[in-house]
Amino acid sequence: MITEQQNTTAMRHDWTVDEVQALFAKPMNDLLFEAQTVHRQHFDANSVQVSTLLSIKTGACPEDCAYCPQSARYDTKLEKEKLMEVEAVIEKAKAAKAAGSQRFCMGAAWRSPREKDMPYVEAMVKGVKELGLETCMTLGMLDADKASRLADAGLDYYNHNLDTSPDYYGEIITTRTYSDRLETLDNVRRAGMKVCSGGILGMGESHKDRAGLLVQLANLPQHPESVPINQLVRVAGTPLQDQEAMDPLDFVRCIAVARIMMPKSHVRLSAGREEMTDEMQAMCFFAGANSIFYGECLLTTPNPAANKDQALFARLGINRDHQVTAAPKELDELLAVKENPEAAFYDAVQS
């Protein structure tokens, strides 16, 4: 283990794009060795944090994010849904905990939550916290007041991704600015919550853009506690539906560089795992990824079934002490199926 003084020295917030591009250019074996060395200095190398993500309000988002099937601007055949009942959310959180999840994340397709939404989402946070789970939400942009209210309700993490580099951002999103995103992260941090922020790879960005995204994240005043690295899921009907697939080894490199730059952050292997081989995921874990989303529905896109993840963990010797009290397949079924849709959603909130 390195000393506390060395730990402090390693936590940098002054990275340059040129420095990060030099990391990307290292021979793969050297890069992975460095990333794994950093990883072991701060984490158990055979432990992966497990979260479950539930869409609590689906579709009809006014934003134009080019990758997103929930945008009202694209015809993706996605059925829009209103905000879920608090009780229905709590039941799914119970299933997630029984299947071994440690954190329950709730996502709503909003530009930002409206005032009349807030009592419901605050109640969800309180109810999930009472189960003993960590809580996370992603609800779009937050002003200081709403961030403070969520913190007071007990929200542990707030997710708000930067998505890509400042230079490439305008090619992906035009309905909110990069500074809007940074302002939300600042409001979250000032309210006392932990920050979950990362990006999406494979959207046609350059290698320099990938370096630029990681520079933005690592140069925040405090590193995000959670850094989700997503691989683009190409959804029919979105502007990126025909985007060329990313080289798997380039993705692994991004995981390794993120680990080196943000040594104490949980680096989450996030969207796009359904298209990854077990071997690619194993390389990502070796490169420093130590968090995943669990359950076969990730908001509105496919994710590996929880049983499949359990089997992969067993093959890799990961999470041997992980506590599972119910079959993971039950989590998949509860996340994917709504037996009585009308009873599960509020009529009082925005569509």
The residues carrying an active-site annotation are 61, 65, 68, 105, 136, 196, 268
Which tokens go with 130? 């009472």
Helices and strands in the chain, H and E counts: 12, 11
Long-range pairs for 129-134 at CB < 8 Å and ≥24 separation? 129/154, 131/90, 131/93, 131/94, 131/97, 131/104, 132/97, 133/93, 133/96, 133/97, 133/101, 133/102, 133/103, 133/104, 134/51, 134/102, 134/103, 134/104
For 303, list phi and psi in degrees, rounded to 5.
-145, 150
Cα 307 versus chain centre, distance: 20
Count the helix, strand and coil residues of the chain and give each as a percent rounded to the nearest 5.
40, 15, 45
Provide CB contacts within 8 A for 171, sequence distance 6+.
66, 203, 204
- Cα separation, 117 vs 330, in Å, equals 29
Give me the sign of the Cα torsion angle 320, 323, 325, 329: negative
Q: Torsion over CA of 312, 90, 297 and 135, rounded to 10 degrees? A: -70
Q: Return the bridge partners of 49, or none.
A: 291
Which tokens go with 136? 């996370």
